Chains A and B, each alone.
Chain A
Amino acid sequence: MYKVVSMVVGSLVWFGCSVVMFAQGSVMDGVFTSAQASQGQRTFEAVCASCHDTSEFSGGRFQFTWVGQTTAALYETIATLMPEGDPGSLSSEEYAAVVAYLLRLNDYPPGLAPLPADEMVLQTVQIVANEQ
């Protein structure tokens, strides 16, 4: 019984998070997980760091470029253009993890559910100024 209840509760929590994701939200809502961001960091260091420094995607540069756009725009830019020699060669999960890493790099809070590689969902997540 306990097991059934916990499964139901777990499903409701997961479903609840998904429901939150489909409503209009922002990157302040905890739209990625720490584990996902850490995976994205590993991908960044293995693939991106050979040409890029994190300073290009943090601080004023990140805010100036991305505040006012959605995570879909961020995801699509990276997934379409990068890595430069072979754009689009990473998996959609890897691209989502890199986006999660960039969000964490800019001190946006992690949450309970990973950022999905789903354009419709990503379009509902606004990148807002980090006011923490």
Chain B
Amino acid sequence: MVVLFLVSSAHAQTQGTENGEWRYIGGDVWHTRYSPLDQVTADNFEDLEIGWVWRGDNYGSTTLGVSRSTPIYVDGLLYTVAGERRTVIAIDPATGETVWTYREPHTTRVNRGMRNGYGKGVAYAEVDGRGVIYVITPAFFLHALDAKTGRPLEDWGQSIQLPDFPETGVVDLLPDLISDWGPWQSWDGVYDADFGIPRELGHITSSSPPIVVNGVVVVGNSAEQGYNQTRVENVPGDIMGYDARTGEHLWKFHVIPRPGEFGHDTWETDAWEWTGDVSSWAPISADPERGLVFVPTNPPTIDFYGGFRPGDGLFGTSVIALDVQTGERAWHFQTVHHDIWNFDNPTAPVVMNVTVDGRPREIVVQTTKQGWAFTFDRETGEPIWPIEERTVPQSEVPGEQLSPTQPFPTKPAAFEMQGLTEDDLIDFTRELRTEALQIVESYRLGPIFNPPIQRGHSSGLRSFVSCPSGASNIFGPTSADPETGILYVSTLRGCRSENIVPGAAIDAPEDIKTTGRTIADFAVLNRGDFRGPQGLPIFKPPYSRIVAIDMNTGEHLWETPNGDTPDRIQNHPALEQVAIANTGRTSHPITMVTKTLVITAEGTGGTPRLHAVDKQSGERVGTVSLPASGQYGMMGYQHDNQQYIVVQVAGRNMPGSLAALRLPKGN
């Protein structure tokens, strides 16, 4: 009881979910996806009804079949984004009526984007007593909109000399990003705001919203998927800070350190000058009391091959704590050295207060695609439990040089199957196992950090196999209960087997999305064809789960399969005589936490249902129907004394949409 009291008083300082609100896409600024609302309980969960559905039709030239946005609720309005232009939508939280929308005027540079439909939402802050909505668009502009009217904020930002752009309320982020970047400084040409960065130099975009902390708008960014890139040059994804009140550019953090900057010596050649990415596409979280933001990053340019960029390459695939006022690095941790596995840090670092070995600890947790929860003291960056550098396999791809070691957290234990051995193979029947053994003969199996091998490798094997592919991933953001210190991880079992070929064989010079000048020696042909026997997963179940980890001890508390065994597996002809336990779906669950429940939906491969799960035991305590399967994000708020749960849903006849559930009036 004493522990709970201490933790609760710390939780009272968390900003974002007081008064029934959900001010950040992660609920609070700690990105816990927790709401303290308790009107909905295990007893009445199955009384929930659909209050309204908001459909994401008609935002853009094509209708998005999915939406990755988690709405926010603040001061009586719900805000989300929709469509390929990341149009901002304000929605009546009681009825689902569209109240206002803001569509960025068209530019050529929006057509160059590869993450246009990946918008994860908007940010909110109060400026001079007025609510402001901030959004970063695919074209990489930062907009500030009056939260009540959707109109661009007056006396904010700069005048953009492009057709139809407003005179105020917007900042072109690109000039600020590249103003001190060597390749742009030596570029012989003028800046074209309509086109953006010249193709020869690179491209940048955005998917997550900014986060506003202590009056500063912190802007992350995103880039072309590293498995689609064929050329080695790109712009670095430097993090930038802007004054929330005026739009003035305040600071920049170089994610690829320049000479004299910390970490520059982790770049062994001059690749730091012209290569890029190291983007923070996953959401950023913060500790406003300390004035820190926690920034997750992804690898440098070209996932799966780094022969042109030898060295550990800070700050690729890292968690970086930055001072929000100055942009200076407080601490960092690189979760993968010289990453060539696409092990981007895929979800926001989650901030929590816990008690470890009798001592209060203020931590931040990064769950990863490898299946670990890296846990740090959020002031110092010191690991709460030891993280060991261990020897890992080396690459045989010509020109590639991997780090001899990688960091392995000792606690919490990995929450997903890592690596693949024969012991992990499907064994529902002897026949299926025999088939699986035959399949794996063509692939290079190995432990976690198994390196790629190229097509035509001397072994004659088809490809490598690296598991997990994305255990924790943006498809199922991690959530947490600040009152108990339990972390709820959505995890998916999987393996990757990308085929690597000479970049020259697949480079597409005429494609507007091709950027850079120099074709890489190797690039990704496709994402591989490693599959199990007869359409079944090649590994043993469970295929996806929610794993509850007590962050006071680092111990796993419980785990539960995501949903129920898919019909195509349950009814598979090869399993006619076999009874199998619940395998879970083959997609990440999505979760949120309330005072009373963990609430979960089954993800892109799931049935259209919403479940309530007991926070302490993992037992399913209720299920209701959704109009389509829930995916990417859910949130909750209280409006007119009613608790709402809003789920991002999409399905075969439904675009990315929102379904709002509430109890019948009088409940």
Contact = CB atoms under 8 A, between A and B. Distances in A.
A86 interface: yes
B305 to A, nearest CB: 15
Interface in A62-87: 64-65, 77, 80-81, 83-87
Contact of B605 (A55, A60, A77, A83): A83
B660 to A, nearest CB: 22
B587 A59 contact: no
A67 to B, nearest CB: 11
Interface in B87-123: 114, 117
Given A50-B117, A65-B526, A86 B586 contact: yes
A7 interface: no
A112 interface: no
Contacts of A58: 508
Nearest to B534: A80
Interface in A40-62: 45-47, 49-50, 53, 55-56, 58-61
A88 interface: yes
Interface in A13-34: none
B605 A84 contact: yes
A61 B605 contact: no
Contact of A50 (B64, B507, B527): B64
Given A59-B506, A65-B526, A86 B604 contact: yes
A85 B605 contact: yes
Contacts of B459: none
Given A85-B585, A87-B535, A55 B513 contact: yes
Nearest to B469: A84
A123 to B, nearest CB: 18
B117 A85 contact: no
Contact of B508 (A59, A84, A85, A86): A59
A53 B228 contact: yes
Contacts of B529: 77, 81
Contacts of B505: 60, 64
Contacts of A81: 529, 531
Given A81-B529, A88-B568, A53 B225 contact: yes
Contacts of A45: 62-63, 65
Interface residues of A, number: 24
Contacts of A64: 501, 505-506, 525
A69 to B, nearest CB: 11
A91 B585 CA distance: 19
Contact of B526 (A56, A59, A83, A84): A56
Interface in B473-528: 499, 501, 505-508, 511, 513, 525-527
B603 interface: yes
A56 B228 contact: yes
A80 B587 contact: no
Q: Which of A53, A81, A86: most chain B Cβ within 10 A?
A: A86
A55 to B, nearest CB: 6
Nearest to B501: A64
B51 interface: no
B606 interface: yes
Nearest to B68: A50
A55 B585 CA distance: 29
A17 B535 CA distance: 32
B605 A86 contact: yes
B304 to A, nearest CB: 14
A50 B531 CA distance: 21
B446 interface: no
Contacts of B506: 59-61, 64
Contacts of A49: 62, 64-65, 117
Chain A contact residues: helix, strand, loop or mixed? helix
Q: Which of A45, A47, A55, A59: most chain B Cβ within 10 A?
A: A55
A85 B585 CA distance: 8
Nearest to A58: B508
A50 to B, nearest CB: 4
B66 interface: yes
A56 B535 CA distance: 23
A60 B508 CA distance: 7
Interface in B182-235: 225, 228
Contacts of B66: 50
Q: Which of A49, A59, A64, A85: most chain B Cβ within 10 A?
A: A85
B554 interface: no
B618 interface: no
B342 to A, nearest CB: 13
Q: Which of B114, B506, B529: most chain A Cβ within 10 A?
A: B506
Given A61-B526, A77-B529, A55 B535 contact: no
Nearest to B62: A45
B381 interface: no
Contacts of A61: 506, 508, 525-526
A58 B527 CA distance: 14
Contact of A59 (B511, B568, B606): B511
B492 to A, nearest CB: 9
A59 B513 CA distance: 13
B288 interface: no
A109 to B, nearest CB: 20
B526 A88 contact: no
A55 B587 contact: no
A24 B566 CA distance: 38
Nearest to A86: B605
Contacts of B508: 55, 58-61
Interface string B215-259: 000000000010010000000000000000000000000000000
B167 to A, nearest CB: 34
Q: Which of A45, A50, A53, A88: most chain B Cβ within 10 A?
A: A50
A55 B228 contact: yes
Given A53-B513, A60-B508, A65 B114 contact: no
Contacts of A50: 64-66, 117, 604
Contacts of A77: 529
A54 B436 CA distance: 31
Contacts of B114: 53
A43 B506 CA distance: 25
16 contacts: A45-B63, A46-B652, A47-B65, A47-B652, A50-B65, A56-B527, A60-B506, A80-B531, A80-B535, A83-B605, A84-B605, A85-B586, A86-B587, A86-B605, A87-B535, A87-B568
Given A55-B228, A80-B535, 19 more contacts: A46-B652, A49-B62, A49-B65, A50-B65, A50-B604, A55-B511, A59-B511, A61-B506, A64-B505, A81-B529, A84-B605, A85-B585, A85-B586, A85-B603, A85-B604, A85-B605, A85-B606, A86-B605, A88-B568
Listed from nearest, the 8 A-B pairs whose CB atoms lie closest are A85-B605, A85-B587, A85-B604, A46-B65, A86-B605, A60-B506, A50-B66, A59-B508
